[in-house]
Amino acid sequence: MVDTNNPEEQERYFKDATENVRRNAFYMQEELDKDRLHDAIKHAYTMIGELRTSKQVIENNNNNLFLCQCFVCMCKKKKKMMVTSELAHLETHVMDKFREKQKANEATALEWLTELYNRVQFCGNIVPRLYLLITVASVKLKAYKEWHEDTMKTIFDVVELSKGVQHPTRGLFLRNYLSQVCRSALPDVPDGVLNVLNFYNHNNNDDVGSLDDHPFIKQSVDFVLKNFAEMTRLWVRMQHQGAVRDRVRREKERLQLRMLVGTNLRRLSELNCISKAVYQDYVLKNLLENIVKSKDKIAQDYLMECIIMVFGDEYHLATLESFLSAVNKLHSSVAVNQIVIKLMNRLAKYAEQGADHRQSFQDKNVFETFEQQVKEIIQKHTKLTIDDTLGLYVELVNFAAQCYPGKDDYVVSMIKESLHTIQKNNNQVPASSVAHLSRMLLAPLKSMQLRVFEVKEYRDLISFLDFAQKRQVSADMVGSLVQLDNVYLRTPEQVELVFGMIEPLWCDPDQDKSKKHDTAGLDKDKDKDTEKGGNVKKSGDDDEQGQDKDDAPKKKDKSKKKADSERDDGGDSSCESIHEQHTAGREETKSSDDETFENEQNLMAKLIQLIYNEDTDTHYQALLYTYAYIYTYIYTLHLARKYFGQGGDRRLVYTFPPLVFNCLSLIARTHGLLSSEERSNAITMKPKKMFQFVHKICHIYGTHCPELGCRIWLQAALAAERCALSEISYEFFSQAFLCYEEYVSDSNEQYEALRCFISGLQSVKNLEQDNFDTLRSKCVQHAQRLLKKPHCARTLALCAHLYWDVAYTPFFNFFLHIKYLHIMCIFFITEFKQADVATKCLKKSGQKINSMMDGVEKIEMFVELLNKYVYLIMKQCPDVTMIFPFVHFVYLCIYTCLLFSFFDRFFRNIYFYFYFRLNCRK
């Protein structure tokens, strides 16, 4: 006997046995090549003799236990030969020999095969004898596959002979080999038969037949069932052999051999004859009977799982009650909750595949069946922990959400049961149950969407998690919401519920709890302007202006002190102060993972985009544009701002920009509705009121992130411009320049901000001339103050467009087609265009380029400036004061290009200049 606890002795025995198998396999193949079958069988007998030993070899590789019992699989680690593969060579040779004799004489071939079948039965030892007997029998089964009577007789003869091997391990491998050989020879329904029921219906009527009408097919099913029952008994018997101290080792060995038993169930599922009716009336009954009789925890756990996995979902729906009733009869130590959970998950995935599959759940109330089963399990198995109970409830929630998306009461009932279970446990949730609680919070979102937040018990569940767990669950909840289609936060109540659940994403754990839901001031303002009998707020500016007045002195004092300190310390101090402010904001939060924080805030930004309220209902032609829709949307944005204002500077950088753009989109829609006379009377919340809200957010955001704040001010100004609100547009432009002057100190950021300003001003159409002159003059002044000469030159060249390439105002365009008035309109339009200032901007740009030291960059700048000249000439800019500076500029360009051998490119641009110049003169 090999000492299984001695690795060296195991390895030595393993090598010796492997060498014996290789040597005899080589001799067997050599005899087969010489066509000496009798001698080859002798070597095969010796080779198989290694399988009859009771010695066991166990290899431990990378902490994994591999049972190499009987060396059926020698290639686990070192690519050893398999005994069964060598027997396959013997089977192939016997088949070829039989086919050769069959061509000469059918009777002689059959007589020879029968003689060989009887000869191998005279082998001395039973294990080699049965392996050789099965090998020769496989040839007979394949040769006479259509002879169902002889086939089944041979198979059952081998089955009866296999009972002689009662050693558990040897018997398992022997019967697995028998099942593998007989797989292709079993009588079955032909593959071409699409409807198995029609095949059973031998009378061609509507009555479904049974296996009794097809005895050979029934024998095939009986063979697999019988083999399964025998292998199950052998597998269970392994647990009761040996000393008690080796129980753990035996359990590991059994787990390694479990696939041998489960293969029978897979063979059974592959038979075409197993229809839904056959499975329900005959197969499942035998399988469950054998599993229950085993009274073994490992066997019942694994085999019940195998039944769930190998058979179809339609079969499980048809036999749900029978299967669940058998679950209650299993051994008390079996984890029945896991079996039920796996079955629910399998059916839930089946329901997700389409509406047709989900319809089968509507016809049969599966949820109530599972719910009753879960209650029986909890009542019967008193040893179930809270982790097991919550695991069952969360799977029921997931099952109801996927299979019955329209029945919210199923989900709500399970959530209430879960909360009741936690309360019975003194409101304590173990660490192992946190995952179940998180899944329960996420599972209903897809089916119930925002309706689930209205369930009080659902909101109470998150209170049992700590802050880190709440934060993770909240991020997952928001991620699920933003991925849903046609889901919007339409009312303030929905914002209140959702944001109350995802509190860790907008509020730190050490923050004052009394401020989190402080919306009393907002409610007071709301009550002041509420109509009788309604909940609608009147339009007005006093309430928000009052808030601005309260907040304005503090903000102005802070910004003034900050600006004075920056002027005293220089431009770099402003950049340093902003950097210190952001550093302090990062230190205030307890999160150490900045990437996780950024992802969470990006999800919050996406959530803001879900704040939407339609102006009309489905009745478009009824013109029912009520004030409640627009006000509700505005009030929702107000409420969202109340929450975000508590999240700290670090969160405002992510959450305020989408809030601004959401409001700007609302302003655009409201302006479109006001343009219609029929609908304007139903709207009392004007764009001017909404721009005050945007002004508040931009003012706060500009002090924390000035680089992006300038751009947001600019976007708000352009939105006001599109609404023909010139005074508001000028105010936003002014605030953008103030933010630029006070906070933006980096030269690159200044250059990019000025480019945005120039681009925005060039598209303006409704500003008054004085305001427009002030803004474009500011652009020229700031462009001249840029530190880097390339930035200064490029920006000055862009400023030239503000003095010539400007848009016409809608007022002037309206009168251009009227006789005698177009001359006066052109007079006013020309005041916006100043060719001399445009020329001065280009001249100053050329001077900055000429003072540059880098020759290569200088040439590129000259090319860009030359293109600006050509563009303005194409736009018919007057050249009274421009031609002489331009000629001088061309001279400098040519001189520079000759020095750097870059004449060809400039010559092409100069040629185009003179070409367009002559055309302009014509």
Q: Let me know if 515 is exposed, middle or buried by CB neighbors in 10 A (0-12, 13-18, 19+).
A: exposed
The pLDDT of residue 64 is 32
The pLDDT of residue 909 is 58
List pLDDT tens digits, range 527-561. Answer: 433 333 333 333 334 333 433 434 433 333 444 34
Instruction: Give the pLDDT band of residue 731 (cuts 50, 70, 90).
Output: very high
Lowest mean pLDDT among 163-172, 191-200, 312-321, 423-432: 191-200
SS3 35: coil
The pLDDT of residue 212 is 74
The pLDDT of residue 449 is 92
CB 20 within 8 A of CB 13: no
Residue position matching structure tokens 């041998």: 260
List pLDDT tens digits, range 484-524. Answer: 988 888 877 888 888 889 888 877 775 444 344 343 333 43
Radius of gyration of the chain (CA): 43
Q: What is the reported pTM? A: 0.75
State how far the Cα of 307 lies from the Cα of 322, in Å rounded to an integer. Answer: 13
Q: What is the mean pLDDT of residues 870-895?
A: 61
Percent of the chain exceeding pLDDT 70 equals 72
**What's at 280, amino acid-wise?**
Q
Domain ranges of the chain: 1-185, 189-334, 353-465, 615-829+839-849
Considering the domain delimited by 353-465, tell me its CATH architecture. Answer: Alpha Horseshoe (1.25)
Lowest mean pLDDT among 267-271, 313-317, 620-624, 728-732: 620-624
List pLDDT tens digits, range 800-853. Answer: 988 887 765 544 444 444 444 444 444 444 457 888 888 888 889 888 888 888
Mean pLDDT of the chain: 76
Centroid of chain to Cα 859? 51
Question: Which among 4, 64, 8, 54 has a CA at the least distance from the CA of 252?
Answer: 64
State how far the Cα of 440 lies from the Cα of 477, in Å rounded to an integer. Answer: 11
Considering the domain delimited by 615-829+839-849, tell me its CATH architecture. Answer: Alpha Horseshoe (1.25)
Lowest mean pLDDT among 244-258, 276-290, 704-718: 244-258
Burial 668-701 (b: 16+ CB within 10 A, else e): ebbbebeeeeebeebbbbbbebbbbbbbbbbbbb
State how far the Cα of 143 lies from the Cα of 151, in Å rounded to an integer. Answer: 10
SS3 382: coil
Q: What are phi and psi of 65, to 5 degrees?
A: -90, 120
Instruction: Give the pLDDT band of residue 284 (cuts 50, 70, 90).
Output: very high
Extract the tokens encoding 269.
């599922």
State how far the Cα of 405 lies from the Cα of 431, in Å rounded to an integer. Answer: 30
The pLDDT of residue 142 is 83
Q: What's the start-to-end Cα distance of the chain, in Å?
A: 114
Q: What DSSP element (H or E) covers 284?
A: helix 284-294
Residues 6+ apart with CB under 8 A from 96: none
Q: What are phi and psi of 489, to 5 degrees?
A: -85, 100
Q: What DSSP element (H or E) covers 60?
A: strand 58-61
Q: How far is CA 767 from CA 119, 731, 756, 816, 817, in A?
A: 110, 11, 17, 19, 22
State how far the Cα of 28 lies from the Cα of 37, in Å rounded to an integer. Answer: 9
Extract the tokens encoding 749.
């950021």
Q: How far is CA 297 from CA 21, 169, 417, in A?
A: 36, 19, 29
List pLDDT tens digits, range 186-238. Answer: 888 776 554 554 555 544 443 345 677 788 888 889 999 999 999 999 999 98
List pLDDT tens digits, range 51-110. Answer: 765 444 433 332 332 333 333 333 333 333 457 788 888 888 988 988 888 888 888 888
Question: Which among 378, 347, 340, 377 has a CA at the least distance from the CA of 365?
Answer: 347
State how far the Cα of 751 lies from the Cα of 792, in Å rounded to an integer. Answer: 8
Q: How far is CA 538 from CA 584, 611, 684, 686, in A?
A: 41, 21, 7, 11
Q: What is the mean pLDDT of residues 283-288?
A: 94
CB 566 within 8 A of CB 741: no
The pLDDT of residue 4 is 52
Strand partners, 611: 489
Helices (H), 144-214: 148-162, 168-182, 196-200
State how far the Cα of 872 lies from the Cα of 833, in Å rounded to an integer. Answer: 12
List pLDDT tens digits, range 570-591. Answer: 333 333 443 444 444 444 444 4
534's torsion region: left (phi>0), alpha (psi -120 to 50) or beta? beta
Q: Would you say the C-alpha torsion 111, 114, 120, 121 has a positive or negative sign?
A: negative
State how far the Cα of 5 lies from the Cα of 3, in Å rounded to an integer. Answer: 5
State how far the Cα of 12 lies from the Cα of 317, in Å rounded to an integer. Answer: 53
Q: What is the mean pLDDT of residues 731-757?
A: 93
Extract the tokens encoding 381.
């198995």
**What's at 259, amino acid-wise?**
M
In this chain, the answer to whether the domains covering 353-465 and 615-829+839-849 adopt an identical fold is: yes
